[in-house]
Amino acid sequence: MARALVIVDVQRDFCKGGSLEVPGAEEILNPINELRTRGLFDVVVETQDWHPNNHISFAKNHPGHEENGVKQILWPVHCVQHSIGAEFHPLLIRKDSDVLIQKGIDPNIDSYSAFWDNGKQKQTQLKEKLVEENVSKLYVCGLALDFCVAYTCLDGVQEGFETYLVLDCSRAISSSSLTTKLFELATSDVKFTYSSLCCRKA
């Protein structure tokens, strides 16, 4: 069975100087690049927040909102479609063979996970692509660990994949939310690993 590396939202707006900067984001670039160039993975996926201007998650668009029973956290405007902030970090190694998954496209609901929107109403093409490639193991990393990376890991387990969080290739928005989320991940069959300990190809 195949292995996939899922690199979550390593985009300019989440990096230094971006509108929703994740502390230490640049520290994961070299470990991710080194990990993907070691030939350990049969599939490499990059996810990209790809929001329209009127996205529900943008604080500027409303003072507060709850959509379809899903409580919405409000964020600064970030990763607007075709903007510089939505671009991948220029130092992130990418290849034409990589699978691109864009999320957060629907203006009416947010999408942290690379598999589903937050209300589990619409599914991305990620599972379909992984099944096509006979993937059984996922190694997930990127930004931000306490939101999009974590939700991708949780859904990975739910969708039947053996799922690993690569800790040194991920960074969180806040230490308090990270502690809570790591506990949730650990009790949901997500396995923790580091890039130096990742699988070796047989």
The catalytic residues are 9, 103, 148
Two tokens, residue 137 = 């193991």
E-only strand ranges, 38-161? 43-49, 66-67, 70-71, 99-103, 135-143
Contact 20, 172 (CB under 8 A): no
Distance between CA atoms of residues 79 and 85, nearest Å: 5
Measure the N-to-C terminal CA separation of the chain; round to a whole number of Å. 11
* Residue with the two structure tokens 């589990």: 120
